[in-house]
Structure 1
Amino acid sequence: MSDERDEHTGSLYEAVGGIEALRRLSNTFYDGVLADPLLAPVFANFTTTHIEHVAVWLAEIFGGPARFTDELGGHQALLRTHLGLSITEEQRDRWMELMAVAVGNELPEDELLRRRVLEYFDWGTRIAKDVSATPVGADLGDPGPTPRWGWEGLAK
């Protein structure tokens, strides 16, 4: 039996369907988040611009254009948006549940693709939760470049 990765080439960005698919994913996801009593308070300052920024972030993470780094401040800026949010594990778990629903509704029916995308979200939400315990204005140091996620998970 061949390795299931053999049939997957190119970037996750290409496989999900590019920026338009990531915009649909973000829209579907945030429709659920903003209606959820557990998560809505975390997004009290939510704007529709947030959806576009998330799509642009995901595009870069998954191997698409580096617009988040070039135009929106990169990894440091993303981490800073989570400062002081005090995300709980219950909120992180619910976030993942809603994202799994959005992935199921918006991404191609490709088990490995969906698994890799959800693995990224699991990894990223753990970091967001940890960073959220840090006070607003704190120095995060240099988090390094924006990570990249592919068919093998986090690029080394």
Structure 2
Amino acid sequence: MKTVPTLYEWAGDIQTFETLFETFYDKVLRDDLLGSLFKNMSPDHVRHVAHFVAEVFGGPTLYTEQDQGSHAKMIGEHIGKMLTEEKRQRWLQLLLQTADELGLKSDPEFRSALVGYLEWGTRLAVINSQLTENPMVESEPMPRWGWGETGGPYIPN
């Protein structure tokens, strides 16, 4: 019986995610709408985001172990940023454009899972960016994303 690969395995390896986000954030910094929002990001931001998404997609735990991150810390990065729907959509558009340009897997199943996660995650970022305090406790587990699981508040019976 074949085992189903994780989204991380299907996409490639850690270099796939690091290249995707390096190329993407180069675009973000030059973007009229997003550039000013990210101009003062830490030198580690791009690597942390690549490691976070890779881990969420079933890859190595580089974000939680090497980067000393957590889901609560990632949520905390968005607190008070007052992100808008327009910025969310532009961020998503640039990331998907970058994925296409780099030849990231484009089969419908993978892209559906990728877009599903990005829609979920960016919408959470906008919601949390309107807050003044992080609603998440440090012990909250990292999200795990697969080929079609529900990621939000829905819990099946």
Indicate the TM-score class for this superposition, using the shorter chain for normalisation.
0.7 to 0.9
Task: Tell me what 1:39 maps to.
Answer: 34
Once the two structures are superposed, what CA deviation does each residue of 1:11-66 show, in whole Å capped at 9, x if it has no partner? 00001101100011101211111111111122132233111111110111000112
Q: TM-score, normalised by structure 1?
A: 0.86
1:89, 1:129 within 8 Å by CA — same for their partners in 2? Answer: yes
Pairwise CA distance, 1:84: 1.2
Instruction: From the superposition, tell whether residues 89 and 36 of structure 1 become closer, same or farther in structure 2 (CA, over 3 Å).
Output: same
Indicate yes or no: 2:120 matched with 1:130.
no
Q: Which amino acid aligns with 1:48?
A: P
Instruction: Indicate the structure with greater helix content.
Output: 1
Residue segments in structure 2 that go unaligned for 5+ positions in a row: none
Runs of 4+ in 1 over 6 A off after TM superposition: none
- Which of residues 64, 70, 74 is equivalent to 1:69? 64
- Which of residues 95, 99, 120 is equivalent to 1:99? 95
CA distance in 1, matches of 2:97, 2:116: 14
Q: Which amino acid aligns with 1:100?
A: L
Q: Which amino acid aligns with 2:65?
A: D
1:120, 1:153 within 8 Å by CA — same for their partners in 2? Answer: no
Q: Which amino acid aligns with 1:17?
A: G
CA distance in 2, matches of 1:8, 1:119: 22
1:103, 1:114 within 8 Å by CA — same for their partners in 2? Answer: no
CA RMSD of aligned residues (A): 2.0
Instruction: From the superposition, tell whether residues 52 and 133 of structure 1 become closer, same or farther in structure 2 (CA, over 3 Å).
Output: same
Q: TM-score, normalised by structure 2?
A: 0.85
Matched residue pairs, number?
148
Task: Tell me what 2:144 maps to.
Answer: 148
CA distance in 2, matches of 1:148, 1:58: 9
Once the two structures are superposed, what CA deviation does each residue of 1:78-117 show, in whole Å capped at 9, x if it has no partner? 0111111100001001111111101212312322212211
CA distance in 2, matches of 1:43, 1:16: 26
1:85, 1:133 within 8 Å by CA — same for their partners in 2? Answer: yes
Give the percent of matched residue pairs that are identical in Structure 1 and Structure 2: 37
CA distance in 2, matches of 1:28, 1:19: 14
SS of residue in 1 equivalent to 2:59 = coil
Indicate yes or no: 2:17 matched with 1:22.
yes
Residue segments in structure 1 that go unaligned for 5+ positions in a row: 1-6
Q: Which amino acid aligns with 2:118?
A: F
Larger deviation, residues 145-154 vs 9-18: 145-154
